[in-house]
Chains A and B, each alone.
Chain A
Amino acid sequence: MTDTTLVDTLICAASEAWCDDGEVLATGIGVVPRLAASLARLTCNPDLMMTDSEAWLVAEPVPIGPRGDYRLRRETHMGFARIFDNVWGGKRHAMVGPTQIDRYGQANISMIGADYRKPKAQMLGVRGFPGNSMNHANSFFVPNHGTKVFVEGEVDMVASAGYNPARLARGWRLEDIDIRQIVTNLCVMDFGGPSHQVRLCSLHAGVTVEQVRQATGFPVHVPADVPITAAPTALQLELLARLDPHGLRASVLGA
C-alpha cells in the first residue's frame, strides 16, 4: 500500500468513530483526525457539529489549507470559553494524537522523562486533555504505531484519564471514562477487551497480528476473527479530494 492510499484508509476508518454519536461537536486535532471528522459529517453522521478550528461553529466542514475564495458558513460563535462550555456539557467527541498512550488509555502530550521537575523533553503541557477525558468521548490517532507511543508502563505524565482503577476518585466508575477508537498506521483498536483491555478491531491490508503485538508495549486482546480495515469507497475519496484540495494528507505519514 502506498502512503497515500494508506492515509486515505486511516481517515476513512477514523471517520467511523463519530458515526453513532448523534448531535455532538466533532473535533479532530491534526490533519487526519480533522479530515476524518469532516468525512463523518458528510457521510455517516450529518448531525455532527464542527468548527473552523478557530472561533466559529460552521454548517459544513471547512477544507484544510489555504481557502481561496471559500466562505465560512457560520452557525454560531465558538471561541475558547464557549468550547469549554461545550466540553463540560459532554456533547463532544475529540480525536487527538498523543505522544504516549498506555494500557489504560491514559495519554500524554505534556513531557517525557522520569523527572517531572526536569523533563528530558518538555512538550506542550497537558492542554485540554484532563478536561476532555473526564467530560466527553475521546479517540486517538497514532501515525507511528510503536512501543515509544504505546508504552509498557504508565505514560510519563497522565494528561488524560483512562480506565485505571487505581486513579479513580471516590464515587467515580470506569464507565465515567469514554475512550473509543485508536486508529494507527497498522490497525484499528478499541477498549472492548476484558476489563477495558485494548482490543484489536481490524488490521490494515498487509499488516499481521504479530506486527501489532511487537509494536505495542502492552498485551493487546486479539479476537478469533480480525477483519481487514475497509478500503475507502469512491464517494469517500471524492469527498476527501474536496476536503483536502491541496493534498496535505499525502505527507502526514511521510518522513
Chain B
Amino acid sequence: MNKLMTAGDVVAQLRDGMTIGIGGWGPRRKPMSLVREILRSPLRDLTVVAYGGADVGMLCAAGKVRKLVFAFVSLDFIPLEPYFRAARQAGAIDVMEIDEGMLLLGLKAAAMRVPFIPTRTGLGTDVLTHNPSLRLVDSPYDERQWLAMPALPLDAALLHVDRADVRGVCQVKGPDLYMDDLYARAAAHTYVSCDELVDPAVFERDEEARYVFWERAETTGVVHVPCGAHPTSCAPLYGFDVKHFKEYAASAREPGGWAQYHERYVACGEAEYLQRVGGEAAVKKLPLPVF
C-alpha cells in the first residue's frame, strides 16, 4: 500500500472539532510542517492532546484550539510558551491539565482499548478539583481508592520521524521516542511527516529495524518534508533553532506580533519557509541541545 500524501491531503482529512494528538515533547521532534498546514487551513475548534511546545502555542495564537489536554507547554530553554500563556490568561481555551504520566496512561488506555487505567498519580492534587470528569474507583483487590485515568482516544495523531517509507514504516533514531508510539496506537488515523523518505530495503540492513517502534498498520499517511520538524529538533539530524524560537517568543511581546509571524513564516508556504529560516543545509547544521 502506498501511503504517500501531501500535508494538504492530511489536513483535508481533518474536521472541525476533532481531537488531535501531536507527538514530540516541548521543542523536540514536533510535526511542525503539518501544524503550519493546519494554521493555513480553516480548521477550528480542535481538542489538542500534547506534551506541548510551539505547536500548541501557534495553534492557540491562531485560534484553532477549543480545548487543550496537557501537562505542560514549554520551549524548555524559554520555559514559558508565550502564546499558550496569552491564551490561558485571556481565558480563551478549555483545559484538561493532567500529570505527564497520566497523559501517557490515557494514550496507553486508548491504545489498549480499555476505558481507563488505575493509578495513584493525581490523587491529593487539584488535577482532580479542576477535572471533575476524572473519577476515583474502588479496587477489587484492596481497600484503597485509585484514580481511573480515562482513555484519551484520538481522531488523528500527527507525528514527525527521521525516516519512513511509503508503506508507513517509520524510524526514530533520536535518543527519545517520547510517546509517539502511543499516539500512533491511540489514534484512529496517524499521519507522519518524515525528514527522509527511504526505500523499504533500508530497514532490512543491519540493526535499522530496531529503530522502528510501531507497525505500519498504525500509520495512515506519510508526508515527505525535509526539516519538517523545524524549528523543533529532530535528533540526530538537527537540533532546535534557538534563534528562531527567540524571534517567535519576541513576536508575542509585540502588538500584532502573531499576525507578523504568521505572515512571514506560515502564509508563505513550506518551500519558502525553509528558505526564510536559512535553507535545508543551515537547518541540518543546527547543533543538538546539551543539558
Contacts and interface: CB of A to CB of B under 8 A. Distances in A.
B290 A130 contact: no
A81 B91 contact: no
A126 B88 contact: no
Interface string A164-194: 1001111110000100000000000000000
Given A66-B290, A123-B80, A125-B70, A164 B97 contact: no
Interface stretch (B176-184, B187-195, B264-272): B176-184
A160 B123 CA distance: 9
B130 A130 contact: no
A151 to B, nearest CB: 14
Interface residues of B, number: 48
Interface in A51-74: 52-56, 66-67
Contact of A162 (B88, B124, B289): B124
Contacts of B98: 126, 130
B104 A84 contact: yes
Interface string B252-291: 0000000000000000000000000000000000000111
A126 B121 contact: no
A170 B72 contact: no
A157 B130 CA distance: 9
Interface string B158-189: 00000000000000000111110000000000
Contacts of B176: 54-55, 79-80
Contacts of A122: 80, 84-85, 88-89
14 contacts: A80-B25, A110-B126, A116-B126, A116-B130, A118-B91, A121-B85, A125-B72, A125-B73, A130-B99, A130-B123, A134-B121, A158-B129, A167-B124, A169-B123
Interface of A: 52-56, 66-67, 77, 79-81, 84, 87-88, 106, 110-111, 115-131, 133-135, 157-162, 164, 167-172, 177
